[in-house]
Structure 1
């Protein structure tokens, strides 16, 4: 596997929280994501909240991926096994490639931190149109764990890899990236 240098600038991260039982103003996990990102100097150009509706989740994540000011997308919530936990099913079809190791590593860290409750946690990571996408649980502590231990240490590197992958898939993107 070829190693590339991390991006010089911190990725701009779009945040989507999915929950039927809370709103943007009462979303502790979403607030945690935004706080952690801003503490580390990341810009959050867009933060949205949506209920557990498959088509709405898919639409808002897709729109976020298509934004020029979003380098990486993080979702939080609706990832467990309850009937209305549909985030992974809504996001998976958008992905060109999955990062299956993310789920494995998150499960290991989650078990170490939270014990057997981790068995109900589901996560997903991948790349869509040159943009890394990460789906995290809606729990504040689980979100912090995923961000601090896995996602943020690799964010710049993953954005760089995803962009280079996009240029191979679509030569028109290469011109856009060079113009930035």
Structure 2
């Protein structure tokens, strides 16, 4: 650091010595001696040095930092993987057990209809076939607890049946017994089916949806879906839920048996 006071003192001594050596200036001569600095020159030099010191760029250890260098982000751990990239491998793994073609059994539960007059059953068959599945059997049975339970239990034991869809008997009239007959057979109930079906149905029938007891579950590795007898309800539920989810559910339910 420049010691300005010491430098000014030395400059003053030097000026005095030069003045003594050359002699005093002539009286009346307003010009300064040639060896003496002009008035105020020392202060100007000090100001110039101070300005240079102030303008000197800051550095670490006397070296300038490179303008392109910057401190590393503390949160940057060096992992630059693109997490926004979609991982389709997981989705593929999730569906690897799906069955491409299902063998379906369609059962209409009604004491007043026949197979020739069964629009709800017709819609189930049509939706499944259009989706590329095979309807291996179609039956019509009366609203009877034992008949419903025996029929469903027999169908899930067939080697060519991967899914069972029933229509009718899920209401609240005294002869609506399908849920009571089928639920004891469930190894795993699928409550999400009934919840989703009623949500979809609400847009069609409003609060009357509380009167439907549609249910579903897994029996012996086979998904079983029980719908109301309404044609609109069957069409909505089969197309929006069964066609979309039955291949996945059937594949998962049969996975352990297939891998043994």
Provide TM-score, normalisation by structure 1.
0.88
What is the CA deviation profile of residues 43-64 of structure 1, one whole-angstrom value per residue up to 9, with x for unaligned ones?
A: 0001000000100110011110
Distance (whole Å) between structure 1 residues aligned to residue 204 and residue 116 of structure 2: 27
Task: Name whichever structure is richer in helix by fraction.
Answer: 1
Q: How far apart are residue 3 of structure 1 and its match?
A: 3.2
Specify which of 154, 160, 163 is matched with residue 245 of structure 2.
154
2:150 corresponding residue in structure 1: 59
Aligned to 2:123: 32
Q: Is the 8 A contact 2:221 2:254 kept in 1?
A: yes
- Alpha-carbon distance in 2 for matches of 1:86, 1:74: 15
User: Unaligned stretches of 5+ in structure 1?
Assistant: 168-173
Give TM-score, length-normalised by structure 2.
0.62
After TM superposition, the structure 1 stretch with the greater mean CA deviation from structure 2, 85-94 or 35-44, is 35-44
Shift of 1:118: 1.4
Matches within 5 A, 1:42-57: 42-57=133-148
* Among candidates 57, 60, 77, match of residue 168 of structure 2: 77
Question: Structure 2 residue aligned with 1:97, among 188, 198, 205?
Answer: 188
| Distance (Å, rounded) in 2 between the aligned partners of 1:5 and 1:91 | 29
Q: Distance in 1 between matches of 2:240 and 2:99?
A: 20
Relative CO higher for 1 or 2, CA cutoff 8 Å, sep ≥ 6? 1
Greater gyration radius: 2
**Partner of 2:233 in structure 1?**
142
Is contact 1:17-1:50 (8 Å) kept?
yes
Report SS of the residue matched to 1:127: strand
- Please say if residues 127 and 243 of structure 2, whose CA atoms lie closer than 8 Å, have aligned partners that are also in contact: no
Distance 2:97 2:207 in 1: 35
**4+ residue runs over 6 A deviation:** none
Aligned equivalents of 1:63 and 1:34: distance in 2? 20
CA RMSD of aligned residues (A): 1.6
- 8 Å Cα contact 1:54-1:89 kept in structure 2: yes
What residue in structure 2 maps to residue 23 of structure 1? 114
**Distance in 2, Cα, partners of 1:104 & 1:8:** 24
For residues 138-169 of structure 1, give each alpha carbon's deviation from its aligned partner in whole angstroms, at most 9, with x where no partner exists.
Answer: 111100111111111111110111112xx3xx
Deviation of 1:178 after TM superposition, in Å, equals 5.8
8 Å CA contact 1:72, 1:131 repeated in 2: yes
Give the drift of 1:9.
Answer: 2.1
Task: Work out the CA distance in 1 between the residues paired with 2:171 and 2:232.
Answer: 15
- Paired residues in the alignment total 168
